[in-house]
Amino acid sequence: MTVWQAIVLGLVQGATEYAPVSSSGHLILVPWLFGWQPIGGDVGFAKTFDVALHMGTLLGAVIYFRRDLWRYLVAWLTTLRDRRIETTDERLAWALVIGTIPGAIVGGVFEGVIQDNLGAPALIAVMLAIFGVILYLVDKRMPSDRDLGSIGVRTGLYLGVAQALALQPGVSRSGVTMTAARAIGLDRETAARFSFLLSLPIIAGAGLYKGLDLVQTGFQGYGAEFFWGFASSAVSGFLVIWGLLKYLKRHDFKVFMLYRLAAAGLVLGLIATGVREATI
């Protein structure tokens, strides 16, 4: 893998982590589409590189939500001191804590199964299409009568369970969480904002876990690729959050459904015509 390929993958990661189109699916499909070899020629090391890209988008999100995160941290610590939950910030803080648990459990238990068996391009394409249509239909049929202040612990747990489904590449963590949020009447901007916040502990946890592997293996001569991939994903992730929250104030999810259907059609078409293999 070259530096420019790392930058491209960083931009792809940043553009797709928070847009409801599946970053994990795109990090598999883009190298598959262009015939790029895994960084270092090793699938395990390539997964570590993917996590580094996720950490870049984490940095971008932390910078964007820095004031919110600090406020929720203070509110959470206040509940531990006072042993009660009273304010909106305190409810949101606990919703994020509780909502993180399902994804952490499922990711820890099924990491090997997901990595070894659920990354086929055809399966990713099918998931892109199905969950893109579901997102659009749910969004069009449900009201938008709940805002961020209506979210409590039960809502956080419900959305956390939904987030755990996105461990299958092609589903989209942000997409399935937004779908679940719209299904209970949260407005589009609130659905997106809470989805972004809920993803941060999971991404951070995965980054710390894979970071231990990186301490042992080192960058294996790919330090520049790691740096530029990380940097490009951070910048693009920040910009996508900023743009998407503005976009969803006035628009629905139709454009994302159309993109997912087009991407799925392209992948399945390349496989059907023999241009690309059905497996990685």
- pLDDT, mean of each 10-residue run, the chain (280 residues): 92 94 92 84 75 92 96 96 93 95 83 68 95 97 92 95 87 95 96 95 82 72 89 96 95 96 97 87
Q: pLDDT value at position 38?
A: 76
- 182 neighbors 143 (Cβ within 8 angstroms): no
For the chain, the structural domain boundaries read 3-272
Which amino acid is located at 93 in the chain? A
Output the pLDDT for position 117. Answer: 62
β partners of residue 146? 186
Q: SS3 for 94? A: helix
Cα separation, 270 vs 223, in Å, equals: 33
Tell me, what's the pLDDT at 22? Answer: 92
Q: Please report the pLDDT score of residue 164 as a whole number.
A: 87
pLDDT at 219: 74
Q: Residue 176: how many CB atoms within 10 A of its CB?
A: 24
Helix 88-117, helix 153-164: angle, nearest 10: 10
User: Is 93 within 8 Å of 73 (Cβ atoms)?
Assistant: yes
DSSP state of 274: T
The predicted pLDDT at position 115 comes to: 63
Contact 89, 71 (CB under 8 A): yes
